[in-house]
Structure 1
Amino acid sequence: MVTARTIAETVTDPELPMLTLAELGVLRDVREASGRVEVTITPTYTGCPALDAMRDDLRARLTEAGYTDVQIRTTLDPPWTTDWITEPGRRKLQAAGISPPDTAPHRAPGPIPLTLG
C-alpha cells in the first residue's frame, strides 16, 4: 500500500490546481498509527474559502486508497507564509503566469532597528 503521506502530497489546491497542497506549503503533517491517518493542514489565511474543499479532497483521496479512519486537522499556529511554497511550487506558479513572492530575508533574532524620517 502506498503511504498516506505519498497520497496526501498529490492532492492539488482547489484554487491553484497547478500546485499540490504540499508544494503550496499547506500540507503540514501526515501521521499513520494503528490504521488511523491524521493529516494537518494550515490554510493560506484564516478565512480561506477553499479549506472545506481541501479537507474533502484529502479525505476522498485517502479513503479511495483504502484508509478508513482519516482525520483532517487544521492549525493556524504557526500561520502560513509564502516562505513555505516549495521551489517546484514557485516554478509552477511562474509557469502559470503568477509571480511567486521571494522568500523573506532571514534576520538575527531580537529587535529590528527602525529609522524614522
Structure 2
Amino acid sequence: MASGQQKAQQNLDAFEVWQATQTDDDFKQITFKGQLNRIEVAKGVGCGKSALNQNPALRKALKSLEDSLRERGLYHRCQKVPKKRLIYRSNMITQRIAGFLILNVYLY
C-alpha cells in the first residue's frame, strides 16, 4: 500500500497527464463560476475531490492551470457583486413591494 506522500505524488502525476491531454474546448466545458469544476477535474484525474484541496502540490498546480487559462482568455475570474450594491438593490425591491401592497389595499 502506498504511503500518503506516494499517493499525493501519484495524484500530481495523474493531474499533469490529464492536463496535457485536455484541449481548450475541454476546459471550457468544465468551467463553472469562473473556475474549473472540481468534481469534473477529480473524475478526469482519477482522485477524490478532497485531494484537490488537501494536496498542496496538486492545489498549486490546479491554481496555476486556472491562472494560465485566464491569461489565455478562456474564462474570466468570477466577479463578486459588492455588498453595498446588494443592499441597495434589496432596499429598492423592498420599496417596490411596499408600494404594491399599498396599491393593493387601495384597490380593495
Superposed pair shares fold, TM > 0.5: no
TM-score, normalised via structure 2 length: 0.32
Higher helix share: 2
TM-score (norm 1): 0.30
Of Structure 1 and Structure 2, the greater strand share is in 1
- Greater gyration radius: 2
